[in-house]
Amino acid sequence: MAGACPPELAVAVAETGGMGGAGVLQFAPLRIAEWVEQFRAGSSGALQLNIWIPEPPVADPDERERRVAEAREFLGRFGTPDDAPGPPPPAFDAQCEAMLAARPTVISSIMGVFEPDFVRRLHEQGIAWFACATTLDDALTAQEAGADAIVAQGMEAGGHRGSFDQEAAERTDVGLFALLPRFADHLQVPIIAAGGIADGRGVAAALALGASAVQVGTALLRCPETGTSKEWAASLDGLAPEATVATRAYSGRLARAAPTPYVRAWTEPGAPRPAPFPDQLRLVGQLRRGEPDGMDEVNHWAGQSAALATEEPAGEVVARMWRDASGLLA
């Protein structure tokens, strides 16, 4: 998850036999290089860099401006957004070049597929491509585009939904254990299970249903290496699966988070729909710079397995998950 993947966490996971990872959506090329350098100073293990695929051009600029205005007005209840322009977002092409130069084990995508030339180049360098998918149609598209493995993301997952069509994300919220057999019956590439897995039972079940590996996020959010804020960690403690919220309030794209007052406000009667991505992300960033009142200082991502997350070191969490899963599978 972007914002919750310091090098120290990736090192702890890799040194335990897993694959460390970083969400580089908001990393400038130099930051990508620095992050990888810090990781490799602590581990020679496997490493994944993950990025979002840019969305297509806006179909209706006037409608977009209307939604931006409504969202800005609603955000006024939390404070006054800072109108000073922030730094421009990193250029996607430059980020891709930086990832290639870093030569990780895996470059992974979410919300779409890479262009054929980039896929060719990463394969020429011996880098694998993992593509996130939430439906079989998206998974087949990624497989045809050259993905080496598909990350099957169930609706239980914390953070952003990997739907290729973000406007359809709410209508394609399939649970992981329904998604896995469907993928296994139709794909030729390996499947990695993601969403709601936070202990050995979830790992064993995912492998039994056709996954070759699992990917976890929320399970590690309370580990000391993650550096999660006290407020975010507290929102995960004992959080029931049904209490998590699918929301567009942080970025304009659908994601699962803890039900903070800020997130709940967007579900109240009369609340507008959040602005599209990246406008909502920009507005939220401006609000945070303006000393917000009642606004979450960070995005409180939370998968439906949040109550299983513990404050133990990440290496111990990963080792126990695999040990318990191996016992069950045996």
Question: Using CA atoms, how far apart are residues 156 and 301, in angstroms rounded to an integer?
Answer: 12
Round to the nearest angstrom and report the end-to-end CA distance of the chain.
32
Q: Which two tokens stand for residue 270?
A: 């009369």
Per-residue pLDDT, averaged over 311-315, amounts to 96
Residue 193's DSSP bridge partners are 152, 214
User: Which residue type, as a one-letter code, is found at position 168?
Assistant: A
Mean pLDDT score of the chain, rounded to an integer? 94
What's the confidence (pLDDT) of residue 3? 80
Task: Choose between 305 and 1: higher pLDDT.
Answer: 305
Q: How far is CA 238 from CA 70, 243, 245, 300, in A?
A: 34, 10, 15, 14
Distance of CA 239 to the CA centre of its chain: 19
**What pTM was estimated for this model as a whole?**
0.95
Would you kindly state where each structural domain of the chain is located, as residue ranges? 7-52+89-221+310-329
Across residues 259-267, what is the average pLDDT?
A: 95
Question: In sequence order, which residues have a C-beta less than 8 Å from that of residue 302 and are 6 or more positions away?
Answer: 158, 218, 221, 235, 236, 239, 244, 256, 257, 258
CA distance 262 to 251: 13
Q: Which tens digits make up the pLDDT trace of 166-200?
A: 989 999 999 999 999 999 999 999 999 999 999 99
User: What is the distance of C-alpha 14 from the center of its chain?
Assistant: 19
Superfamily in which the 7-52+89-221+310-329 domain is placed by CATH:
Aldolase class I (3.20.20.70)
Query: How many angstroms separate the CA atoms of 38 and 9, rounded?
Result: 11
Distance CA 148, CA 103 (A): 16
CA torsion, ordered 65, 67, 68, 70, to nearest 10 deg:
120
User: What's the rounded Cα separation, in Å, for the pair 59 and 150?
Assistant: 29
Instruction: Say if residue 290's pLDDT is above 80.
Output: no
pLDDT of residue 308: 97
Cα(256)–Cα(169) distance, integer angstroms:
12
Judge whether residue 88 has pLDDT over 90. no
Nearest in space to 249 (alpha carbons), one of 195, 295, 293, 196: 295
pLDDT at site 45? 97
Cα 115–chain centre separation = 21
Helix axes 314-329, 7-15, angle to 10 degrees: 40
Distance CA 300, CA 233 (A): 8
- Does residue 102 carry a pLDDT above 80? yes
The torsion angles phi and psi of 129, rounded to 5 degrees, stand at -115, 120
Query: Phi, psi at residue 56, to the nearest 5°?
Result: -70, 165
Mean pLDDT to the nearest integer, 30-43: 98
The rounded distance, in Å, linking the Cα atoms of 248 and 272 is: 11
User: Could you tell me if 9 and 314 are in contact, meaning their C-beta atoms sit under 8 angstroms apart?
Assistant: yes
Instruction: List all residues 6 or more positions away from 279 whose beta carbon is below 8 Å from its beta carbon.
Output: 64, 67, 68, 71, 252
Task: Give the pLDDT confidence of 134-168 residue by residue, as tens digits.
Answer: 999 999 999 999 999 999 999 999 999 999 999 89
Amino acid making up residue 62:
D
| Residue 62 main-chain phi, psi, to 5 deg | -65, -45
User: Average pLDDT of 202-223?
Assistant: 97
| Confidence label for 82 from pLDDT (cuts 50, 70 and 90) | confident
Whether 289 shows a pLDDT value over 90: the answer reads: no
Q: Which residue has the tokens 């959506």?
A: 25
